[in-house]
Structure 1
Amino acid sequence: MEAIFSKEIQAGLDQARLDALKKSARLRVSADGAIHPVLRMWKTGFVLESEAPPLRGLVDLYDGSIHLFQCLIVTSDDEDGERRYEFKRATAVSEKPAVDFEIPDDTPAGLIEDTREHGT
């Protein structure tokens, strides 16, 4: 069953939904020194509120304080108070530096030093 509301009531319901999404959102986008809460995210993009300035290019995506992705984005759609962005590229951020050589699977995690005195 679908309810039909007046434009004012529907606008109020839409605003309440957006406010609830903003409060519960841990994901955020950092672009040009500004931070914007992400309302929803999926494999190929994410949604911000339509009041956020239009973004394009390279942005950083965070979950709380954890840096998840460095993304190249474009705006794809703007409707119902939401602006959709699509990833052209989303590169996961690693805590370890990149290496330019292969690390064998049987590489020891560390070395143990023998501190005993060797007698003859």
Structure 2
Amino acid sequence: MSTYLPKEVQEGLDAARLLAMKKSSRLRVCVEGEVYRVLRMWKDGFAVEEGVVPNLRGLVDIYDGTNHLYQCLIVGTEAEGGEMQYEFKRATAVADKPALDFYRAPDAPVGLLGHDAA
């Protein structure tokens, strides 16, 4: 059995694969106010469509729909099969609360009530 595919068939398969990834992914990467679709993401990086997205580098934000997931420092690694792959140098998860620099007891009061000096 031959594993050789004609160039036209391989290009058609790559185009169909990219289209399926674009339809199924909710992830977005935001760079300097511009938003681009992420085709796929893994532990150490992500991939975007080659040729449509300009070369990215530096600090980017990754969103799932409208939820801000990560603030990342990235570097481009390689272009393969119609997608450009990027690797995380740093990926910091975004928290919805500010970081605490002290221990908060689980039974601590939420706030203090003042009294009126009337």
Q: Scaled by the length of structure 2, what TM-score is found?
A: 0.85
Give me the whole-angstrom Cα distance separating, in 1, the residues matched to 2:56 and 2:13: 26
Q: How much has 1:12 moved relative to structure 2?
A: 1.3
Identity of aligned residues (%): 59
Q: How much has 1:70 moved relative to structure 2?
A: 0.3
| Matched residue, 2:10 | 10
Q: How much has 1:101 moved relative to structure 2?
A: 2.2
Q: Scaled by the length of structure 1, what TM-score is found?
A: 0.84
| Matched residue, 2:68 | 67
| Matched residue, 1:79 | 80
Give me the whole-angstrom Cα distance separating, in 2, the residues matched to 1:2 and 1:67: 46
Matches within 5 A, 1:35-46: 35-46=35-46
Pick closer, same or farther for the CA change 1:2–1:36 going to 2, 3 Å.
Answer: farther
Letter in 1 for 2:54: P
Give me the whole-angstrom Cα distance separating, in 2, the residues matched to 1:93 and 1:64: 14
Letter in 2 for 1:82: E
Q: How much has 1:111 moved relative to structure 2?
A: 7.5
Matches within 5 A, 1:1-120: 3-51=3-51, 52-109=53-110
